[in-house]
Amino acid sequence: MNYNEPLAYRMKPKTLEDYVGQEHILGQNKILYRTIKADRLSSIILWGPPGCGKTSLAKVISNTTKYKFKRINAVSSGVGDIKTAIEEAQNIMLNPSGKCILFIDEIHRFNKLQQDALLPYVENGTVILIGATTENPYFEVNKALISRSMIFKLNPLTKDNIYQVLKNALSRPEGLGNYNIKIEDETLLKIADTANGDVRTALNGLEVAVLTTNMSSDGYIHITNEIAADSVQNRKAIFDKNGDSHYDNISAFIKSMRGSDSDAAVFYLARALNGGEDPMFLARRIVISAAEDVGMANPNALVVANAAMQAVHMVGMPEARIILSEAAVYMAESPKSNASYNAINAALADVANKDTGEVPMYIRNAPAEGMEQFGYGDGYKYPHDYPGHWVEQQYLPDKMVGTKYYVKDENVVDLK
C-alpha cells in the first residue's frame, strides 16, 4: 500500500461487498449487481454527481472481470488512445477473449468524432463500454452510444453511507487504521453531513484533520468537532453552474415562484448564489416569471422585476442578494395568471400554421399621400372621437374573425 496516495484513493472498494451505497442499482436482486457478479456486463453509462462512486464502481468491475480492462480519461485522451485500446483487445496473443472492457471517465468530454470512433466496436462486441459522466448523458453523449448502452443514475451518497465509509477508513490498514485516533460518532456524522453526498470530500477532510493534528500525551490523535469543521470547511453545495444541477436548480426556482412558495423560491435562489450563479441571470428569470406566471393578475410585477434587474446590475453582489430575494418573494406572493402567455402562444401557432388572411385595409398604414385612394386607412374609426374612447370596429383579418386568444381567468385584473 502506497500511503502517499490520498486516503480517498486508498479507500476505493475492491469488491461489491466493499462498495457502500447505490442500493437502488446494486442491491443483490438488482440487474447491475447480478451482471457484475456473473461477469456478463454489457455497455453501461454511469451518470451521477462528483464523489458518488462512479469510478469506484469501475474499479470493482476491473477487479472482478475476466476480460481485459482498459481505463482512459476523456480529458487527456483522443481517438488514438481509443484505437490503441481496440488493437490491444483484438490482439489474440495478448487478449485471447478478443474483447475488453473500456472505462472512459468523463465521457461527456469526448467530442462527436471521438464518440463515433467507438461505435463500430461497441456494436460488434469488441468493446464493452463503461462511461462515467457528471452530465446528463441524454444531452452530452452520442445518441447511437446511448441506444447501445444501459444508463444507470447514481445518487449522492446519504449521510449514513458516508459515515460508514469514514468508519471503514478509521479501522482498515489501507486507510487510517495504523493511527491511534479518537473521534466521536457525532463528529463523524458532522463530517458526513458537511460533505453533502460527496464521499471524496469527507475522506479528504478526515485525512487533513488526522495529518495536521498532533498526538496528545495519551498517545492518541483527538479529532474534535472544531478540528473537523476546520478541515472540511464549508458545506459542499451540490451545484455546478455549467452542469445538470444548474438547470435543475433554476427550474426549481422558477416553479417555486410559479407555485407561490416563497420559502422554496428563496431557498433555490440561495443555492444558486452559493454555487456562483450570475445574479443577472437570476434577475432575468424573475422578469420572465413576472410576465409568464404573474401576468395580468398583477401587471405591476413586471415593473418590480425590471426595476430589480436594473438594481442588481447597478449594485452587484453581495447586496444584490437582497434585491433578488425581494423580487422573488414578490413574484411568489403575487396572484397568478398565464392568460397573456397562452394568448401569444396560440396566436404564434395560428400565424405559423394557418392561412390567417390579410390586415383589413382601413387599419393599414398610409404614410404617403395618395395611398388612401387604394383603400389604405380609408374608413378607420378613431376611438378617441367616440364616447368612452371606444367604438365597435373589426381589427382581426376576415379569416380570423371570432378567434379568441386572450381568455381572462379569475385572477386577471380588469383594466377597463
Say yes or no to pLDDT of 366 above 80: no
Q: What's the pLDDT score for residue 238?
A: 56
Mean pLDDT for the chain overall: 87
CATH topology of domain 159-232: Helicase, Ruva Protein; domain 3 (1.10.8)
Q: What's the pLDDT score for residue 231?
A: 84
Rounded to whole angstroms, the Cα distance separating 276 from 240 reads 8
Mean local confidence (pLDDT), 139-154: 88
Range of lowest pLDDT (140-144, 238-242, 285-289): 238-242
Strand partners, 102: 70, 129
Say yes or no to pLDDT of 152 above 60: yes
Residue appearing with cell numbers 465509509: 165
Please state the φ and ψ torsions of residue 354, each to the nearest 5 degrees: -125, 160
Say yes or no to pLDDT of 241 above 60: no
pLDDT in tens, 3-34: 678 898 898 888 888 899 889 988 888 888 88
Q: Does domain 244-333 have CATH number 1.20.120.1200?
A: no
Say yes or no to pLDDT of 412 above 90: no
pTM score:
0.65
Mean local confidence (pLDDT), 105-129: 86
State what percent of residues in the chain have pLDDT above 70: 94
Say yes or no to pLDDT of 239 above 60: no
Grid cell of 237 as nine digits: 453545495
Grid cell of 231 as nine digits: 478541515
Say yes or no to pLDDT of 339 above 80: yes
Say yes or no to pLDDT of 147 above 60: yes
Range of lowest pLDDT (140-144, 205-209, 390-394): 140-144
Q: What's the pLDDT score for residue 5?
A: 85
Say yes or no to pLDDT of 372 above 80: no
- The three-state secondary structure class of 187 is helix
Rounded to whole angstroms, the Cα distance separating 134 from 106 reads 7
> Exposed (0-12), middle (13-18) or buried (19+): which is 315, by Cβ within 10 Å?
middle
C-beta neighbour count of 158 within 10 angstroms: 14
Top mean-pLDDT range of 79-83, 162-166, 236-240, 406-410: 162-166
Say yes or no to pLDDT of 374 above 90: no
Q: What's the pLDDT score for residue 237?
A: 55
CATH numeric code, 22-153 = 3.40.50.300
Q: What's the pLDDT score for residue 66?
A: 85
Q: What's the pLDDT score for residue 188?
A: 92
Task: Give residue limits of the domains in the chain.
Answer: 22-153, 159-232, 244-333
Rounded to whole angstroms, the Cα distance separating 132 from 134 reads 7
Are 45 and 146 spatial neighbours (Cβ–Cβ below 8 Å)?
yes
Say yes or no to pLDDT of 61 above 70: yes
**Between these two residues, 65 and 310, which has the higher pLDDT value?**
310
Are 131 and 157 spatial neighbours (Cβ–Cβ below 8 Å)?
no
